[in-house]
Structure 1
Amino acid sequence: MSKPEHPAPDTGSAAVRLAAEVEILRRQVEELVPLVGRVDELGDVVAHVSQTLAAVAARRRPAPAPSWLAAPAEQVAARGLLDELAVWLREIFLRYPDGATALPDCWLWHPDVVEELLWLMHAWLAAYQGADASVAAASDWHDRQRPGVVNRLRKAAGSCSPEAHQTRPGWSAPTGGPVPVPGLDAVEAITAWWAQHRDRMPPEPVAAQPSNGFGGVLG
């Protein structure tokens, strides 16, 4: 009895099927290529968002206010703090009548008063010009921070009487200009003392020279 013969494999059909499978795979790969690009784009977007959030978080960190009580023992740095403060006092703080009356002529001789004014200045800068400046921050400065400092200045160093207040140079000027910052002739002596010898007695204020009534000084 003879063995059954197996039919020869149809190589043509197999080749066709293989070619079809290759074509399917090629199309699938082509469909994946744009996805790879999208994944790369998505990675760039995530990195950009992360950097943006980090920058926003850095801006939202509250900036520290300088301290007069802990100012560096360096005269130029101390003078810089007082120069900036004097400009702000003239342009902002002394435009409020209660601020003008609460600031005594001897304010430079009261380190606690300088400290209060420095942080109040930086609170104003943060409320009006900082990265997180807002109406709410400005409202808090007006309603709580500034009145609190004014009240403490009155308790710590006293305030001017109405009679003394009316005799301030330029106070009754019709132009409505800023009130002069008192005691600025002592800035040099105060900064030298505070920067180098704050553990000693402060320098004595120089007595005001009498006026001849015509804008000059007697003597």
Structure 2
Amino acid sequence: MTGPTHPGPDPAAPEGPAVAGLAREVEVLRRQVAELEPLPGQVGELGRLVGQLSETLAAVTARRRVPAAPSWLMAPTDPADIERLLGEVCGWVEVVFLRYPDGATALPQCWLWHPDVVEELLWLMHAWCAAYQGPAASVGAAGDWHDRQRPGVVARLRRSVGSCSVEAHQTRPGWSAPTGTPPPVPGVEHVELITRWWATDRDHTPPEPPTAAEPDGSTGPAGGGWR
């Protein structure tokens, strides 16, 4: 003999539709929650990207605030300014540049007589300050200074001054003493000719250089002139 049965809820009963509707709402909510579960991770990733962009913008802004390096070749003529520049360069050369063996061997005693050498060391000093101490100081900037900027200056000093010495700058019979006077700008006599061409006819073939007998460049050699 079997026991009594317990049938399920009668859909026709008044509470049946309400329960079914509640179940549907619960299912909808469950699906919505499932869809929202990845959201915290997405928000976190978005926050990370925004942080990176902010850091990048701050770094770019900081680099723009890095002061420009002064120029020895265009330095003011005030003796106090010159003394300050030389004092800074000499101090930095002693504590940084000469610590590198190749730098020490590339810098002759007569380096102060070579304006191009002073210019190189001046900007290299400011590049070092920007890489290590400036508002945009970074490991990457320091690496660039070591890997590219400093070796580049050393190589140029070797080519520029070579084995020059203080004695080479002393006026003595038989010596061709180097000077700090720059050579004349080559081709400067053609400025007027090039000015006319670049200002009025730059999309066409440039005029041929004038012969020695025609220094003004008015006509040029045979077959030359304007095209």
Q: Specify the TM-score bucket, using the shorter chain as the normaliser.
A: 0.3 to 0.5
TM (norm. structure 1) is: 0.47
